[in-house]
């Protein structure tokens, strides 16, 4: 009989014995480690760990393990989480006119590549904008944003996110700057895709900026959203080589391909609890 897999993640100040103690509590409660990764950041003195494990026998009790681990975590001052690997995270997708990232995430979800439950789509464009996409029965909310209605619409968006019990919010090329208050509510669980290789070429028309500079590489960056515009902890990046023959329009087309794959990889890492915050950056454990 195949036992259910679980995922444990933790971070804390580094000190001797953490790995041994974590392994011991899993063993003592009848669980078997399937995969373990850890990172000791010697610059910050912080320790990070991700463990996949399952029960060694039918009598192993996940609830008892959680209680035992809570005691251990308290002693080390850990920030931690433990959940069944099969438990899908609830995701809200936010989109604007350019829908290539939204379409790609929905395709990867339907094909089984992204293990998530899309619980809402929030858009500042009407549903007709996405008529060519199969949105299934995902609740769709049209929230047009103007300077006068921005705070009101953000308040409504927050109520929708809360009601949907969302674990993750994805800005799938959502072309609105979020207020500091809204960002604070989403700290550590809101992912954005930036259509350039940060920190270069911020603002409007980054691919045109890149073309004017004659760059030989373009890229995209997925990061957690913070109050500092496009400067949140980076989760994933990728680049593609270009040449002097490429026009700004070609760069935009190639850039959209990069955006799709970078955002999908970043979301996949978050869905599998592979991303841990490390001050202003991230630890991303490989799959």
Query: Residue range 144-162: average pLDDT?
Result: 92
Instruction: Please give the pLDDT value at position 198.
Output: 46
The encoded tokens of residue 214 equal 């004659």
Cα(36)–Cα(196) distance, integer angstroms: 33
State the pLDDT at residue 147.
83
What mean pLDDT value characterizes the chain?
92
What average pLDDT does this structure show over 217-246? 89
What span, in angstroms and rounded, lies between the C-alpha atoms of 113 and 93? 17
Rounded to whole angstroms, the Cα distance separating 225 from 277 reads 12
Token digits for 258?
Answer: 């990069």
Both 49 and 180 in one domain: the answer is no
Residue 81 near residue 110 (C-beta atoms within 8 A) = no
Q: pLDDT grade, residue 200 (50/70/90)? A: low
Residue 258: which CATH number?
3.40.50.170
Shared-domain flag, residues 32 and 158: no
Annotated catalytic, 230? yes
Are 206 and 149 found together in one domain? yes
Q: What is the pLDDT of residue 145?
A: 87
Residues 144, 142: Cα–Cα separation, whole Å:
6
pLDDT one-digit tens code per residue, 75-95? 999 999 999 999 999 999 999
Domain boundary pick from 22, 54, 84: 84
| 132 in the same domain as 183 | yes
Looking at the fold, whether 18 and 132 belong to one and the same domain comes out as: no
Q: What percent of the chain shows pLDDT beyond 90?
A: 76
- Across 51-55, 149-153, 158-162, 222-226, least confident range: 149-153
Has residue 279 got a pLDDT over 60?
yes
208 pLDDT above the threshold of 80:
no
**Cβ atoms < 10 Å from Cβ of 270:** 25
**Structural domains of the chain, count:** 2
pTM score over 0.85: yes
Q: ∠ CA(17), CA(19), CA(20), 5° rounding?
A: 65
Q: Is residue 216 pLDDT above 90, yes or no?
A: no
Q: Are residues 210 and 261 in the same domain?
A: yes
| Structure-model confidence comparison of residues 65 and 217, the more confident one | 65
Full domain range(s) for residue 273? 89-284
Task: Pick the catalytic residue from 41, 167, 230, 238.
Answer: 230
Residue 48 and residue 179 in one domain: no
């Amino acid at each position: 009989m195949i036992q259910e897999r679980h995922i444990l993640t933790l971070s804390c100040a580094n000190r001797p014995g953490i790995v041994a103690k974590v392994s011991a509590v899993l063993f003592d409660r009848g669980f078997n480690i399937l995969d373990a990764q850890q990172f000791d950041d010697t610059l910050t003195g912080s320790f990070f760990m991700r463990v996949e494990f399952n029960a060694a026998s039918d009598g192993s009790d996940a609830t008892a393990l959680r209680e035992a681990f809570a005691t251990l975590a308290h002693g080390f001052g850990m920030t931690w989480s433990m959940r069944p690997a099969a438990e899908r995270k609830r995701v809200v997708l936010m989109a604007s006119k350019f829908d290539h990232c939204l379409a790609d995430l929905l395709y990867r979800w339907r094909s089984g590549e992204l293990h998530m439950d899309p619980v809402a789509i929030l858009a500042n464009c009407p549903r007709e904008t996405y008529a060519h996409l199969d949105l299934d029965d995902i609740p769709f909310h049209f929230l047009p944003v103007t300077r006068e209605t921005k705070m009101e619409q953000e308040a409504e968006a927050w109520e929708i996110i809360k009601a949907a019990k969302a674990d993750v919010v994805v800005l799938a090329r959502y072309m609105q700057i979020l207020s500091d208050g809204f960002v604070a509510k989403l700290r550590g669980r809101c992912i954005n895709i930036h259509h350039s290789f940060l920190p270069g070429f911020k603002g409007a028309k980054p691919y045109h900026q890149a073309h004017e500079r004659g760059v030989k590489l373009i890229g995209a960056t997925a990061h957690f959203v913070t109050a500092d515009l496009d400067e949140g902890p980076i989760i994933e990046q990728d680049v593609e080589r270009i040449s002097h023959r490429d026009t700004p329009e070609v760069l935009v087309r190639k850039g959209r391909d990069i955006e799709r794959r970078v955002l999908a990889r970043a979301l996949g890492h978050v869905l599998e609890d592979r991303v841990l915050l490390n001050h202003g950056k991230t630890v991303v454990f490989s799959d």
